[in-house]
Amino acid sequence: SSSASISPAARAGDDPESAALLELAGMLFGKALYEGVLHQFRLAPFFAKKLLQRPLSLDDLPSLDGTIHRSLKQVMRYEGDVRDLCLDWFVREEVFGKVVARSLRPGEKTCDDVVESHETLQWAHATAEFHLVRRRTNADNAFKTGLFKIINPSWLRLFGANELGCLMTGDADGDVDVDDLKRHCAFGGGYGKTSRTVLMFWECVGSFTREERRALLKFVTASAAPPVRGFQHLHPPFTIHKVRCDVPGSSGGLFGNALVTFGLVKDVQRLPTASTCFNVLKLPNFKRLDTMKAKLRTAIYAGAGFELS
């Protein structure tokens, strides 16, 4: 499918081993959906409609193969005699190294039957139906079998294809609601709601641009999209964990911290890190806002995580 969405390969379920893998993939998607775990994989619209048990048509073909869709449209707009195009009622594909001809109208047409001008619409819809449904029946059914072991199909029918995508990937274009994130944030390692570094962190995030906030969210959770229903539905919760670091040249205590605050001694130099599996931001105990901003920006745009821990 398109680069922005995914669906099973058409022939991926034709052998038992690949069918089992697709069933497992369906179970993993179902588990993520059930638990509210966001991921970056958006289902192709045609495939989402299939999971929702909605009928498919020629208009759904672009999300599977835009080239085929454009070709069908060109034939439908052809003003000459369609017989000149030498089209027949078969689709040819390679299966395990052999070219196989698949009939678009089983039992009704033969390879010798040429598509007539008055049959163009029927031929186009039959071709779309072959690519969207018949050609990929085994692969799609294997994925659905796994998904429906976790999710009741009747639950999915409550949503449209776009809504299902949002439940899986979050609000793809939304900004991070800092106040909502603050309300549902957890803490560890000695940090609390009123910790100086934590208060400075919220000030820092509030001053970030929309793109920087989304980059920070992706750094911590592996998804730049905030949950559709708010951060109370993010599991595990967004957590800020304290990383205690010594400040070079500082003796510690109130006097040492004051030296850092007023820029007389260097601040903590360690970069923040993240454990995306648990949505944990490991935040050093920075003393100055400008240092925290610089270190956060370096970390989130370097794409670093465990390797800096």
The tens digit of pLDDT for each residue in 11-38 reads: 888 889 999 999 999 999 999 888 877 7
Residue 149 is predicted with a pLDDT of 96
> Whole-angstrom Cα distance, residue 11 to residue 58?
20
Among 111, 185, 204, 277, the active-site one is 277
Top mean pLDDT of 78-87, 109-118, 227-236 is at 78-87
245 belongs to the catalytic site: no
Residue 94 is predicted with a pLDDT of 84
> Whole-angstrom Cα distance, residue 63 to residue 44?
6
Label residue 308 by pLDDT band (50, 70, 90): very low
Residue 260 is predicted with a pLDDT of 46
> Whole-angstrom Cα distance, residue 293 to residue 207?
9
Domains annotated for the chain, with CATH where assigned, are: 16-84+117-169 (no CATH), 178-308 (3.30.2410.10)
Mean pLDDT in residue range 233-239 = 91
Q: Judge contact between 111 and 91, C-beta under 8 A.
A: no
Residue 209 pLDDT > 50: yes
Looking at the chain, the whole-number percentage of residues with pLDDT higher than 90 is 59
Label residue 162 by pLDDT band (50, 70, 90): confident
**Least confident range of 106-110, 117-121, 191-195:** 106-110
Mean pLDDT in residue range 258-280 = 73
Residue 279 pLDDT > 90: yes
> Whole-angstrom Cα distance, residue 287 to residue 140?
54
Label residue 248 by pLDDT band (50, 70, 90): low
Mean pLDDT in residue range 204-226 = 93
pTM over 0.85, yes/no = no
Mean pLDDT in residue range 122-144 = 95
**Least confident range of 25-29, 68-72, 222-226, 247-251:** 247-251
Residue 182 is predicted with a pLDDT of 96
Label residue 141 by pLDDT band (50, 70, 90): very high
Residue 56 pLDDT > 90: yes
Residue 202 is predicted with a pLDDT of 97
